[in-house]
Chains A and B, each alone.
Chain A
Amino acid sequence: MKNVYDVIVIGAGPAGMASALTAREKGSSVLIIEREDRPGGILNQCIHDGFGLVKFNEKLTGPEYADRYVRWIDEAGIEILTSTFLLELIKDEDEFRMKLVSAEKGVFSLRGKAVVVSTGCRERSDRQIFIHGDRPAGIFTAGQAQAFINRMGYMPGRRAVILGSGDIGLIMARRLTLEGAEVEGVYEIQSRPSGLQRNISQCLNDFSIPLHLGRTVSRVIGKGRIEAVEVVSVDERMNPVKGTEAIVPCDCLILSVGLIPEIDILKDLPVVKDGKTGGIVTDDRMESPQVPGLFSCGNAHHVYDLVDYVSESGEIAGSAASEFAREAAI
């Protein structure tokens, strides 16, 4: 391993892997940093299919989609540092400097001419959508529930209420049903579902799981473990309508209420945050106008509905990062 690269990619999910491949194809030296113990990002826990329809004209599962890229990365001889955590990222004159840590290497430093931020997103929590009532165990984000079931083999509950009709929520409704749990219903505060139509049809309708539009969870009930939620209808200004409350018994509440680009690592750089997407402002080459050489792609840029487009954004960022590094070298 060197300690200077043309392009350093942060995050080995679908965006990061695509950008690394493209940058490598264009002749740059590339390193990928990944905090998990294997590449693939969140795709590793998405064992349902439907990935790759646009890109490969095939129906792949998440791990299958990721595996293609992992193989190409391997064939291209691109280095990946897994189980490695980025502690600090600064720009010093013409290069980026990072401090990283891993159990294997301890704390170490790297320098890169260009950096691609493909750190994905995080899920909005119960607190960020201002759910009130008690604070018992048994409230999960959909991705967390997915990790428990798909990666670890544990059930988050046996009788679920799902709040939010985002795609992961819909997919978890089906997954829980397949695992023998009861799904009491999916509640969506908006008047229309936010997930893909194909997921409404394949994950809810096919399993007779009710979708309640214009209704939300107003209160959580249960001291130790969740026992029930109170649901309520909302008016057009999203305020609860008195008299429409109902108590729905459950032993878990699963939230699919939005994703937020995870870009906290950029806090020491003068990037500009896009108030609408939660990512950073970039030009159409995915580069930050305030921090030349810094590129952002995938869900760290803004939240995409299909992974195929995530990969595409990675290719754009990877290509531009490679060009930037080459110009910087001259």
Chain B
Amino acid sequence: MNKLKKVTKELAKLGLGGDVQASEFRKSVRLTGHVGSWDEKVAAGFAAANRGYKGVLNDITVEGVGEEKIYRYDPGDRDLEGRYFDVLIIGGGIIGCATARELARYDISIAILEKEEDLAMQTSSRNDGMIHPGFAAHPGSKKAHYNILGNRMYTKWAEELGFELKRPGSLVLFPSRLEKYLVPLMKMRARKNGVDGHYRYISRKKVFEMEPNVTEDQQGAFFLPSAGIISPYKATIAMAENALQNGADVFLNCFVESFEMDGGRIASVRIGRGTVKCGAVINCAGNFADIIAELADDRFFSLHGRKGTECILDRNTGLTQHSILSMPRLIQRKSKTKGGGVVPCIEGNILLGPTAEEQPWREDFSTDRGHFQELLQKLDLNTKLSGSSVITYFSGIRPASWEEDFIIEPSERVANLVHGAAIQSPGVASAPAIAVDLAKMTVDILSKDKTVEEKTGFNPRRTVSYHQIETVEERREMVGKNPLYGNIICRCETISEQEIRDVLRGPIPVNSLDGVKRRIRAGAGRCHGGFCTPKIMEIISDELGIPMVEITRKGDSSPVLSGEAK
């Protein structure tokens, strides 16, 4: 049967035959029409996916869902006007930053353009930081391929870049005895994907030896020892800092407005801060990657935002659990999420989540009661956890394609454009491997016009200018060097004035409360900044010479104070 007919038939099966039309656009299938609910649009998108087209352009409009105003802030300068970079990376998330680091091995000029006030502001910070073992992804998918390689690479990357990586392993718990019979299938899948480590069935008795606080009703588990955890935003920032060290640039508050095309190439990128000429462009724009593709007239996919809410428990909960616990929804074939779990974070907190909710917005990070309640059900896996330990919760949006796989390829239409798009879970786990390929594709493009050589003197090791003091002994040594390491500002996380000042002097400009919090945990503890916020603001004000009333929580539109008192 003809592919288009097949799509049309599938739409009719959903009862959308009258409302939604399918047509061909270049190599993709395009859906148009008007439906009553977001769920219908989502159903139509999935129905059209994987029918032999390159991608799905889901342009169906939905009753009551209007345009979304995308956040942008222009600092007002034209500092970038007329500048040239061999490579412009659009998006300072983990994919963009990892790719910048890989490209920094070559003797070329590189700039990351990020629309927010800091790196890793969206999907890259709003996730559970899990380095998945590569078991859940479908065999043969790009997700499976990059996940396995990325997982393996993290050991070296963490060591070189100086961010923390732990591999506590993941326990897929079996709530009934039936799951045990699926173990051969699980092993087969792990083998097919190439999962590292001695993955194996764990008996009920052994589960309780490993995790004494797990609820009694577990009947066994499948253990995947290569599962790891990192802080995804610290890792992203570390990648960018190492790229910077090796000559790359990062420009914040750079919203890409349009491209100037010239003979099938992007000649320059227009942003609020000027028009920047370029040799090649990499599209790592996360939830906006389909918009960026369209700006280059290369739209062959569309994204749908799947929101995930996560919840963080007090640091003292970390001692109650060693491995990552997940639920067996993992093995459901049709599942669009791995079902989330209970994750011991790198900082010692326990994280619950994420949920999965199809919704229309690209950057609506609000949370709601219903999804939060759903999240709290995960508390049931560990008997020592309770809702009273909740410190915070947040949500992020996964940029999913309708095919539910990564898009990592050079553009077929634009000679100097590379896409690293639709990077949802396991995106963090896959990032180093994706970066290697995106860098290779980009170097291939540049090599057509000039010789691109690896530079001598590339330093893969990040030299750290700031970090959080962890032990009393280290503090003793640091206070000896500078007394301000002894002036404790954040009491919940024990962070001193000088640790905060060091962050503010870091290579990527930081001037907001969240920017500080993302690098060291000042204000991230149980009091939630109740005591230290005024003090941190005074330090920012003093260190950077910004008046108190201009200090923001997370960039220009979020001043903390409204002015001076009488």
Contacts of B527 in A (CB 8 A): 122-123, 125, 262
Pairwise interchain contact A102-B561, C-beta atoms closer than 8 A: no
Q: Is A75 an interface residue (CB 8 A)?
A: no
B67 to chain A, nearest CB (A): 15
Contacts of A262 in B (CB 8 A): 527
* Contact (A132, B366) CB under 8 Å given A85-B494, A264-B526: yes
Contacts of A106 in B (CB 8 A): 476, 479-480, 483, 486
Q: Is B230 an interface residue (CB 8 A)?
A: no
Chain B interface category by residue count:
35 or more
A36 to chain B, nearest CB (A): 10
* Contact (A144, B563) CB under 8 Å given A101-B475, A102-B487, A224-B555: no
Contacts of A155 in B (CB 8 A): 561-565
Contacts of A88 in B (CB 8 A): 472
Contacts of A132 in B (CB 8 A): 366-369, 372
Q: Is B549 an interface residue (CB 8 A)?
A: yes
Q: Nearest A residue to B494 by beta-carbon distance?
A: A87
Question: For the complex, what is the distance from the CA of A184 to the CA of B528, rounded to whole Å?
Answer: 25
* Contact (A223, B557) CB under 8 Å given A87-B494, A101-B488: yes
Contacts of A243 in B (CB 8 A): none
Q: Which of B71, B555, B557, B562 contacts A157 (CB 8 A)?
A: B562
Contacts of B484 in A (CB 8 A): 103
Q: Which of B476, B492, B497 contacts A264 (CB 8 A)?
A: B492
Q: Which of B71, B372, B393, B528 contacts A223 (CB 8 A)?
A: B71
Contacts of B37 in A (CB 8 A): none
Q: Nearest B residue to A131 by beta-carbon distance?
A: B367
Count residues of A near B (Cβ-Cβ below 8 Å): 54
Q: Is B491 an interface residue (CB 8 A)?
A: yes
Q: Is A77 an interface residue (CB 8 A)?
A: no
Q: Is B559 an interface residue (CB 8 A)?
A: yes
Question: For the complex, what is the distance from the CA of A83 to the CA of B483, rounded to whole Å?
Answer: 12
Pairwise interchain contact B534-A148, C-beta atoms closer than 8 A: yes
B349-363 CB mask vs A (1 if < 8 Å, else 0) is 000000000000000
Pairwise interchain contact B534-A152, C-beta atoms closer than 8 A: yes
Pairwise interchain contact B476-A107, C-beta atoms closer than 8 A: yes
Q: Nearest A residue to B312 by beta-carbon distance?
A: A127
Pairwise interchain contact B491-A85, C-beta atoms closer than 8 A: yes
B515-553 CB mask vs A (1 if < 8 Å, else 0) is 000000000001111110110001000000000110011
A139-155 CB mask vs B (1 if < 8 Å, else 0) is 00101100111011111
A37 to chain B, nearest CB (A): 9
Pairwise interchain contact A107-B486, C-beta atoms closer than 8 A: yes
Contacts of B556 in A (CB 8 A): 224
Q: Is A133 an interface residue (CB 8 A)?
A: yes
Pairwise interchain contact B562-A252, C-beta atoms closer than 8 A: yes
Contacts of A141 in B (CB 8 A): 530
Q: Is A179 an interface residue (CB 8 A)?
A: yes
B561 to chain A, nearest CB (A): 5
Contacts of A251 in B (CB 8 A): 562
Give residues 213-266 of A contacting B (CB, 8 Å). Answer: 218-219, 223-225, 240, 251-252, 262, 264
Sample of 14 more A-B contacts, CB < 8 Å, known A85-B491, A154-B565, A225-B558: A87-B475, A88-B472, A102-B487, A103-B483, A106-B479, A106-B480, A106-B486, A125-B527, A132-B366, A144-B534, A152-B538, A154-B548, A155-B565, A223-B71
> When A and B form their complex, which 9 residue pairs have the shortest distance between CB atoms, in order from nearest?
A224-B557, A137-B553, A107-B476, A85-B488, A125-B528, A137-B558, A224-B558, A103-B483, A106-B479
Point out residues on A near B: beta carbons under 8 Å.
35, 83, 85, 87-88, 99, 101-107, 122-123, 125-128, 130, 132-138, 141, 143-144, 147-149, 151-158, 179-180, 218-219, 223-225, 240, 251-252, 262, 264, 267
* 26 residue pairs A–B, Cβ–Cβ below 8 Å: A35-B488, A83-B487, A85-B488, A87-B475, A102-B486, A106-B486, A107-B479, A126-B528, A127-B528, A128-B390, A128-B391, A130-B369, A135-B366, A136-B558, A137-B560, A144-B534, A148-B534, A154-B549, A154-B565, A155-B561, A157-B562, A179-B565, A219-B366, A219-B368, A224-B554, A225-B559
